[in-house]
Structure 1
Amino acid sequence: MNIVIQKFGGSSVSDTDKIKLIAEKIQKRVLQGNKLIVVASAMGKTTDELMKLAKEISAKPDPRELDMLLTTGEQISISLLAIALNRLEVKSKSLNAFQAGIMTTGDFNEARIKNIKSQKIFDLLEEYDVITIAGFQGINEEGDLTTLGRGGSDTSAVALAAALNAPCEIYSDVDGIYTCDPRLHPNAKKLKHVTYDEMLEMASLGAKVLHSRSVEIAKKFEITLYCAATFSEVEGTYIVKDNIEQPVVTGLSVMDSQTQVTLSHLPEDYTLIHKIFHNVAEEDLNVDMISLINDDKSLTVSFSIIDESREDVESAVHHSLKDLQKWNISYRPGYSKLSIVGVGMRSSSGVASKFFGALQHIPIKLVTTSEIKISCLIETSFKQKAVELLTIAFDL
């Protein structure tokens, strides 16, 4: 049995005309001898609209009831797609998370998949050519519906691929993964292959083609991913374990809406630094690009956050330092984070020299590095120029 997992994003199933076109696309694969598991997101902006309805009733909706509401969007998509397929005489059946046996942790709004009862799906594929399955959702031990959070449909698709030991194709309005966002760099090159590690870095740094959770699953189970445009025959990008033709730097990612937070006049007490970041983490907030300066028996800590987390970070910091009198906190919004990524950096020298050489006339506020990444924080007003300089320096 030749099984393929396909996932279609919300923009791809935003109306019934598109759903009919997708059904025809699936029909061609079935006629080629494939059995398909198709995961669909909610139509268009349905999830946002459902969330808006909930917020009109309550500023803080009950998490369980919110998940019950939000999961209806995907069920509409998969049932319409199954109807379209059966109309084309492609034998199809739709399943929600309960019927598909997608078991999750008990966390409403942000559940994680624990396991998938795959035997039922295998059995159904003996009778049906296509099984459409609701993405973004699962069932916890109590039998309640849960949602998987941001990127949940990608996660559903890749988890099913792992459970069924099948390749996974992700279709959206983007025709692959590029060396840089084409909106920032019109001459960006589409990549034929990207490694799991590179895609993980790029996803965490703002690349919106795939969510990092789905890439983590693909890496763990060595699932080949393929990303392409839904309504185009242009070849997309494969995400694989190793890339034989590995460039030193694969891509450049840009993340806007960054704020630099600086805490100054702190006592020379490193347990206090631990307390600050512990309390920030307890609020499920991420900080990045940390700089620590010890100057004249006082500490200055600087780090970057996304703009929208400022109030929560401020609350966590004030809670940490409530027993101190003389300290200062400042916020500087209007920053962007630029990152170059490449597995080839592990074995190549001179990458940092080339990076900082390209940006020598642009003020850099913070820097962070890993084996396969260099990131810097700059004012957003310098972003476009920095992108041009880095794409030239690394031939992106």
Structure 2
Amino acid sequence: MKIVVQKYGGSSVATPERIKNVAKRVKKKVDEGYKVLVVVSAMGKTTDNLIKLAKEVSPKPDVRELDMLLATGEQVSAALLSMALKDLGVKAKSFNAFQIRIKTTSHHTSARIMDIDDSVIRENFENYDVLVVTGFQGINESGDLTTLGRGGSDTSAVALAAKLRVPCEIYSDVDGIYTCDPKIHPRARKLKYITYDEALELTALGAKVLHSRSIEIAKKYGIPIYCASSFIEEEGTMVVERLPEWLEEPVVTGAAISHGQIKVSISFLPKDVRYVTAIFEEVGKKALNVDMISLVPSNGNVFLSFTILEDHKDELDEALKEALKGVEGWQSSYEGGFAKLSIVGVGMRTSPGVAARFFEALEKVGVAPELVTTSEIKISCLVPEGKVEEALKSVIKEFNL
């Protein structure tokens, strides 16, 4: 039995006409001899509209009830796609999360998949060619519906593919993964292949590639992900463990911008690691992502700097006050108007001089980085928001992206 998992995003199923188009695509795969497990998102902006509706009823909606509400979006898509497939003569059946038994943690609105019972899927493939499953959701130990957070349908699809040990195809309104944002650089190249590590870095750095959790699952279980458009018949991008041997490994694969960054500076901290630890423990409790950390000792004190998204400033304030309760003399300041510019590439591991070329490209357009962070396959710097696109174009030219 040849099985493939296909996931269709909200834009792909946004209208009845688009749902019919998806049905034709799925039927084509069935005609090729495959059993197809289709994972669907909610139609268009349905999830956003449901959240807005909930907040009109309650300013801070109960998270269990919010999950019950949000889960209806994918059920609509799944049922409609199953209807469209049946009209094409395809043996199809729709399922929700508790019918498929996608078991998750109990963290409402941000649950994680713990296990999937694939027996229901395998049994139903004996009688049906297509099973349409609601993405983005699962059930916890109490039998309550949970949702997986933004990008959760990607995670659902890859987790199901991992359980079944089959390939995963993800279709959206984007026809693959590019070296950089085509809206900024129209001549950006579409990548035929990209590694899990590169895709993870680009996603974390602001590129709208895939949800990071879906890539992590794919990497852990060695599941290839094919990303393509549901609107045009063009070759997409394959996300794999390593590039094919025949493909020359580029030094830099892609570049990305993360807008809306704040530089946080904390001065006159006592020179004791306990206080730095306490800060990041409180930040972690609030699930805030910090980056570009700099720690500089000076005259018995410590100066700590890092970046965070502008939207999280108030939560960070609370975290700092809690972490440094009882500590005297420390000061914090926030400086906005920054963006993070990054380059990514597995080729950096074996190519010296990449950092020099990167900073030379910034110097050519008069950009001086405020903070810098690196990993084995990434270089990121904090630059003024007003100069970031000009800096990106200079970097693109330097590395021929």
Q: TM-score range by the shorter chain?
A: over 0.9
SS for the counterpart of 1:71 is helix
Residue 52 of structure 1 deviates from its aligned partner by 0.9
Worse overlay, 166-175 or 97-106: 97-106
Q: Which structure 2 residues correspond to residues 1-396 of structure 1 after superposition, within 5 A?
A: 1-244=1-244, 245=247, 246-360=249-363, 361-396=366-401
Q: CA RMSD in A?
A: 1.1
CA distance in 1, matches of 2:351, 2:101: 46
**Unaligned ranges ≥5, structure 1:** none
Residue 322 of structure 1 deviates from its aligned partner by 3.0
What per-residue deviation string (whole Å, max 9, x for no partner) do you get for residues 65-85 of structure 1?
A: 111110000000000000000
CA distance in 2, matches of 1:196, 1:302: 30
CA distance in 2, matches of 1:229, 1:209: 12
- Equivalent pair of 2:202/2:209 in contact (CA under 8 Å): no
Q: Which residue identity is paired with 1:49?
A: N
Q: Which residue identity is paired with 2:387?
A: F
What per-residue deviation string (whole Å, max 9, x for no partner) do you get for residues 304-341 of structure 1?
A: 00010000001111222232332221111111101111
Q: Which residue identity is paired with 1:183?
A: K
Percent identity at matched positions?
56
Q: Which residue identity is paired with 1:388?
A: K
TM-score normalised to structure 1 length: 0.98
What per-residue deviation string (whole Å, max 9, x for no partner) do you get for residues 206-253 of structure 1?
A: 121200000001011111100001111110000011113221110001
SS for the counterpart of 2:89 is coil
Residue 278 of structure 1 deviates from its aligned partner by 1.5
Residue 388 of structure 1 deviates from its aligned partner by 1.0
Worse overlay, 99-108 or 371-380: 99-108
CA distance in 2, matches of 1:82, 1:113: 25
Residue 63 of structure 1 deviates from its aligned partner by 1.3
SS for the counterpart of 1:299 is strand
SS for the counterpart of 2:125 is helix
Residue 91 of structure 1 deviates from its aligned partner by 0.8
What per-residue deviation string (whole Å, max 9, x for no partner) do you get for residues 241-287 of structure 1?
A: 11132211100011001111111222323321111121111211111
Q: Which residue identity is paired with 2:162?
A: A
SS for the counterpart of 2:93 is strand
CA distance in 2, matches of 1:250, 1:359: 18
Residue 55 of structure 1 deviates from its aligned partner by 0.8
Residue 57 of structure 1 deviates from its aligned partner by 1.4
CA distance in 2, matches of 1:358, 1:235: 32
CA distance in 2, matches of 1:101, 1:279: 34
Worse overlay, 319-328 or 223-232: 319-328
CA distance in 1, matches of 2:100, 2:326: 53
Q: Which residue identity is paired with 2:391?
A: A
CA distance in 2, matches of 1:268, 1:328: 14
CA distance in 1, matches of 2:299, 2:165: 59
Worse overlay, 31-40 or 69-78: 31-40
CA distance in 2, matches of 1:64, 1:297: 48
CA distance in 2, matches of 1:5, 1:314: 43
CA distance in 2, matches of 1:163, 1:271: 42
- Equivalent pair of 2:295/2:303 in contact (CA under 8 Å): yes
TM-score normalised to structure 2 length: 0.97
- Equivalent pair of 2:199/2:209 in contact (CA under 8 Å): no
Q: Stretches of 4+ moved more than 3 A in 1?
A: none
CA distance in 1, matches of 2:302, 2:221: 44
Q: Which residue identity is paired with 1:307?
A: E
CA distance in 2, matches of 1:298, 1:165: 53
**Unaligned ranges ≥5, structure 2:** none
Q: Which residue identity is paired with 1:38?
A: V
